[in-house]
Amino acid sequence: MTPFSLGMMGMLYAKRRNVPVTASYTTDFVAYLKHYNLALLEKPLWRFFSWFHGHTVANFVASKSSAEQLKEQKIGNIRFWGRGIDCDSFNPERRSEKVRKELGVAEGEKMLLYVGRLAAEKELDVLLSAYEKLRENNTSIKLVMVGDGPYRKNIVERSIEGVILPGYRIGKELQSIYASADVFVFPSSTETYGNVILEAMASGLPVVATCSGGVKENLLHDFNGLAHITGDSADMAEKISLLTGNEALRERMGENARHFTLNKSWKRIHEELFQIFEKLIKKTENFSSEKFSA
């Protein structure tokens, strides 16, 4: 699941014991570099990924965009491992006025929700700027940002009225927070898939996000949400305003979002994965690894 640390140890273990290896490309680390002024490391990092993934019998990706990325870098043996959602756990029925009140959202206010790591590569400055634009004309909107990370300090320092930081949440508590929101907002363009998009949709929320990377697999513009221009806070604010100001539109897209996720069960996803594993096992019964060298 990772090409670093534990992943490297797993690779070494397998090679020494002549066992075939599969890997999953789940994080677009290269895209993160620009957010930390490390763009010069792009080529060396891709060379490392090419070397690492070149020792596998299969490289799993969750989206077509990730597959294209690997193909561009001449990385082969690509297989699709989709992502699913438990639609019983993430469910509109978990909506709770009590949860909204505990978060600090008053009756009649609209609740925007972000769930994810609080980090620069998530492009949260775009979301915060969009929210500030919205607050100029409508102060009855709150932005709840669930999660933690190094960017939390920046958010606190900006001290934007109406931004709520409840920290990291999991399980039923998180599921209730999802269902209790009105619109899910997600500015990141570096996702290899974006599971939180499915969690929000299953909870009956329309989504406003940039339609790039793995998010494109699930965000259908003007059906289960609205796509905003990548990096454009004004456009994001406009799209959010369309949903918060039009209850009929918001409900229609929320219902579409819920319906969309009902066909994405983990059972179906894992059945497909196990079939791939079975084929790989048969194919590699007489596996003979090459000498493991850098």
Using one digit for the tens of pLDDT, what is the confidence trace for 89-116?
999 999 999 999 999 999 999 999 999 9
At 210 the pLDDT is 94
* pTM (two decimals): 0.79
Please state, as a whole number, how many other Cβ atoms lie within 10 Å of the Cβ of residue 247: 11
User: Has residue 288 been placed in a domain?
Assistant: no
CB atoms under 10 Å from CB of 74, counted, come to 9
Helix (H) or strand (E) holding 167, with range, is strand 163-167
CATH number assigned to the domain comprising residue 167: 3.40.50.2000
Average pLDDT over residues 142-165: 97
206-250: per-residue pLDDT in tens?
999 998 888 988 999 999 999 999 999 999 999 999 999 999 999
Q: Specify whether 105 is located in the same domain as 176.
A: yes
Q: How many CA atoms lie within 13 A of 205 on its CB side?
A: 32
Q: What are the tens digits of pLDDT across the range 202-212?
A: 999 999 999 88
Q: Is residue 36, in this structure, part of any structural domain at all?
A: yes
Give the residue numbers spanning the domain of 117. 92-261
Domain count of the fold of the chain: 2
Burial class (CB in 10 A: 0-12, 13-18, 19+), 157: exposed
**Cα(87)–Cα(258) distance, rounded to whole angstroms?**
8
CA distance 271 to 293: 35
Whether 134 and 156 have beta carbons less than 8 Å apart is answered as no
